[in-house]
Amino acid sequence: MRMNPAAENNDRQQLGERLNAGGFRFTSQRRCVYDVLLNKRDHPTADEVFMRAKKGMPEISHATVYNCLDALVECGLARQVHLQRGAARFCPNMEEHCHYYCDACGEVFDVTLPADGAMMPKPRGFKVDHYDIAVHGLCAACAKKK
Amino acid sequence: MRMNPAAENNDRQQLGERLNAGGFRFTSQRRCVYDVLLNKRDHPTADEVFMRAKKGMPEISHATVYNCLDALVECGLARQVHLQRGAARFCPNMEEHCHYYCDACGEVFDVTLPADGAMMPKPRGFKVDHYDIAVHGLCAACAKKK
DNA sequence: TCCTTATTTAGAATTATTCCAAATCTTGAC
DNA sequence: GTCAAGATTTGGAATAATTCTAAATAAGGA
């Protein structure tokens, strides 16, 4: 699920522009949080991002992590995903994809979608921003156990 | 979004059987909570269900509402949906459908899906339980305002 | 460099959910 | 119908997730 190094550099360079375009300022905290998302693409919760971010930036605060994540979501560099009761998760993969979620062990993985929202019905007047598609069930390992 | 009265009676009669089949007991609280879901299909949060349930059953507790909702979800009479940060919502519509969610005003509505998960990729070994498909954007009314 | 304004910070406050132990039901056997 | 066993409910406390607040700091333009 990792991208190649060149693509990651690209991602990081885009940060400044994208923040600007969205009316946000570039800050070291936002870079740090974005790096956390890019470095381990395992759909961390805000709290997991917080703990990882503290390794490189010990003074960063909880509220800032939320602020940074929200800024990244708003300027199109990350997505927020809602898979279960409790904490939201974050994902820097902006390709059209869906999330397979194991209800037993909590594992999440991305699967790129062949077609985009073309198959979806389009209610009159509704202005679509994005799709949030989760597939719940048991991952291969957990399915075998039962 | 309401079903006809005959269908609702059907829904209510199924409650006992379904609970049994799932290894749950029938209780008045579970009937009450299920009735709340059937009576107003507006995707209430657990807390909204709690407040509505109290009208008919003033002594019902918060923990019981969670317990009942979880039981209903587990025996296939309701679905839990995760649309935004914060509270989960509940929905007694068990047809294959997706949720259109207005990020501005919070309105939710169901749209029955033409095809079921047939178009989805099937990762090897993953045992699919159900799909949870949300479409984010602006409802007609909010789209007009902007 | 200075000013304006966004952002960060720590901690308090709020919201959402889960846990707990005692009391109370539901169900099946008799 | 009565009883016992075990599931469920209760109220309240505990925990988790997120938001708010006011003061301090940092970013970007003039």
Whether A5-91 and A97-145 share one fold: the answer is no
CA nearest to B114, candidates A118, A95, A110: A118
Q: Tell which strand D nucleotides have any atom below 7 Å from a protein Cβ.
A: 7-13, 16-21, 26-28
The Å distance, CA of A41 to C1' of C24, is: 49
Query: Collapsing DSSP states into helix, strand and coil, what is residue A16?
Result: helix
The yes-or-no verdict on residue A66 having pLDDT over 80 is: yes
What average pLDDT does this structure show over A55-81?
Answer: 97
Confidence at residue A118, expressed as pLDDT on a 0 to 100 scale: 63
Q: Where are the domains of chain B?
A: 5-91, 97-145
In this structure, which topology does domain B97-145 adopt according to CATH? Dna Ligase; domain 1 (3.30.1490)
Chain C footprint positions (protein CB, under 7 Å): 6-12, 15-20, 25-27
Of the candidates A109, A120, A143, the beta carbon closest to that of B135 is on A120
The whole-number average pLDDT for the span A17-31 is: 96
Mean local confidence (pLDDT), A13-32: 94
Q: Is A95 on the interface with B (CB under 8 A)?
A: no
Q: Are B135 and A131 in contact (CB under 8 A)?
A: yes
* Section A30-48 average pLDDT: 97
The whole-angstrom separation of Cα B141 and Cα B138 is 8
* Over residues A110-123, mean pLDDT: 75
Mean pLDDT of B55-80: 97
Beta carbons of B129 and A111 less than 8 Å apart = no
**Ordered strands of the B108-112 beta sheet:** A108-112, A97-102, A127-138, B127-138, B97-102, B108-112
* Set of chain B residues whose Cβ sits within 8 Å of the Cβ of A134: 82, 131-133
Q: What is the pLDDT of residue B113?
A: 82
pLDDT of res. B118: 63
Q: Number of C-alpha atoms within 13 angstroms, CB side, residue B135?
A: 22
Beta bridge partners of A100: A109, A135
Residues 33-72 of chain A with CB under 7 A from strand D are 45-47, 62-63, 66
pLDDT band at B2 (very low <50, low <70, confident <90, very high): very low
Residue B104 near residue B139, CB atoms below 8 Å: yes
Using CA atoms, how far apart are residues B90 and B113, in angstroms rounded to an integer?
Answer: 18
Choice among A24-28, B46-50, B121-125 with the minimum mean pLDDT: B121-125
The verdict on domain B5-91 having CATH code 1.10.1760.20 is no
Q: Residue A124: what pLDDT?
A: 82
* B68-119 pLDDT tens trace: 999 999 999 999 999 999 999 999 999 999 999 999 999 999 998 876 566 6
A33 vs A66: CA distance, rounded Å: 10
Cβ contact B126–A103 (<8 Å): no
Please give the average per-residue pLDDT across B33-53, as a whole number: 97
Q: Is A146's pLDDT higher than 90?
A: no
In this prediction, residue B117 carries a pLDDT of 60
Question: A127–B138: do the CB atoms touch at under 8 Å?
Answer: yes
Q: Which nucleotide is nearest to A29 (CA to C1')?
A: C8
Could you tell me the two tokens for A123? 């209610």
- Is residue B1 predicted with pLDDT exceeding 50? no
Six-digit token string for B99? 């949720």
pLDDT surpassing 60 at residue B4:
no
- What pLDDT does residue B145 have? 81
Question: What residues contact A18, with CB distance under 8 A and at least 6 apart?
Answer: A75, A76, A77
